[in-house]
A = this chain, B = another copy of it.
């Protein structure tokens, strides 16, 4: 019996990935573990890929509905997309091969608020879940599971699936036991109760996932690393954005609108987010706490320096260097990092109660403060809304961050009208680019437009934006709340498609 599988019942189910994958059939809905490239299954997807390809070679149909926590990796989303084995996908994807199939229309993609995904499954809105494929760190007696490097929707998939495949990944440190807080107090309306969490680091659950051993059809042992996206060092643009954010927080504290220890931080994934964390690390702020989705390399820096006291999240999202660092000092992080289900990490009730400071990237914003986080030129999806809506809508204070231009200046991130809306003018408080910050709180649309043009737009695009605004205001003097020239509102995007530049 493997040291990682001490459950007498489940140790008898250890088998090959090929055998495990054989429990997945055409038409099944399959729930994978995985969030930000951490904790996704690593062997079963490849075996499933081979079985799908073989079926297709025989002329048989074989496509599944694929549900996850959020993004996985090339060896999960990627291989199944390559096999053309996915009919539908939810709630979030960032894999480039899968993205291409979504954008050609081969894969039906349901881009959902992450806090909604588990409950919509429970509500019956997504149909039946046939199989769950869940990576864990260890299997204890009685079907108690030590979770892996992400929690995501694992609790829901394990509870709801007809059949369960477990992957026990020896690469995940055994010491992950104790890093998780799995809340089993959720219920369906009308039986729901208040979620008792009032402090980001409060434990309201237990350190283990549960599974009914009778449902486990296969246990696969693996020893393979997570995706571990390389950490992109901060550039001058990101650093400038970060400086604006830190200055703004400082200003809010001095104005008495924010406690000196700030409020719990949520930070999106990526370069700009890491720069903001670095900016905080170089500031006077200390003893902060995070209530967020993902523990990135930048958060380890803050935990090490004491800028961050502790962090609650649903997943790691570390580079290879970050992973090594985490593993080398894993005992020092225990008690300071807590991973929860994404229905809890992103829960509107908790985000609002705790008064989160939400910081998320975006693709573009328009003159009136509508934000597009997902769609390139209106039609093609990039990744998905993820948790940005859960956090932004319910935050105490939200920031949307972006460089003012993309594609070497060909694209302005500030446009007359966004080509897709993920966060409406009602939800967007502070927009930041390297040029400055537009504080939209308590502002009318016309005030917002002035601030966004003057403070956030790239100077090369400001005259054209101002000209659009002036002409829109002039055209229909009786319709000046959010004045638009409808035959021109999306012309910047069309021009980019036609000419390669806005």
**Contact across chains for B379 and A479 when beta carbons are under 8 A apart:** yes
B residues near A385, Cβ cutoff 8 Å: 424, 426
A455 at the interface (CB under 8 A from B): no
Q: Sort A-B residue pairs by CB-CB distance and give the 10 closest, nearest first.
A: A189-B355, A108-B444, A194-B194, A421-B421, A380-B479, A379-B479, A105-B480, A349-B349, A125-B441, A381-B481
Q: Which of A4-12, A42-50, A217-225, A482-490 contacts B (4 or more CB under 8 A)?
A: A482-490
**Contact across chains for B478 and A103 when beta carbons are under 8 A apart:** yes
Considering the chains assembled together, what is the distance between the CA atoms of A380 and B479 in angstroms?
4
**Contact across chains for B377 and A127 when beta carbons are under 8 A apart:** no
A340 at the interface (CB under 8 A from B): no
Q: Which of A162-170, A298-306, A491-499 contacts B (4 or more CB under 8 A)?
A: A491-499
Number of copies of this chain in the oligomer?
2
A269 at the interface (CB under 8 A from B): no
**Contact across chains for B494 and A257 when beta carbons are under 8 A apart:** no
Interface residues, chain A, with chain B CB atoms under 8 Å away: 88, 90, 100, 102-105, 108-113, 116, 120, 123-127, 188-190, 192-196, 198-199, 255-257, 259, 263-264, 348-349, 352-355, 370, 375-381, 385, 389, 393-394, 396-397, 419-427, 429, 441-447, 472-473, 476-484, 486-487, 489-491, 493-494, 497
B residues near A491, Cβ cutoff 8 Å: 486-487
Q: Chain B's nearest CB lies how many Å from the CB of A127?
A: 7
B residues near A370, Cβ cutoff 8 Å: 421
Q: Chain B's nearest CB lies how many Å from the CB of A424?
A: 6
B residues near A124, Cβ cutoff 8 Å: 255-257
Q: Chain B's nearest CB lies how many Å from the CB of A344?
A: 13
Query: Which B residue's beta carbon lies closest to that of A354?
Result: B189
Considering the chains assembled together, what is the distance between the CA atoms of A256 and B348 in angstroms?
26
B residues near A120, Cβ cutoff 8 Å: 441-442
**Contact across chains for B484 and A419 when beta carbons are under 8 A apart:** yes
Q: Chain B's nearest CB lies how many Å from the CB of A333?
A: 23
Q: With contacts A446-B108, A478-B103 known, is A353 near B194, CB below 8 A?
A: yes
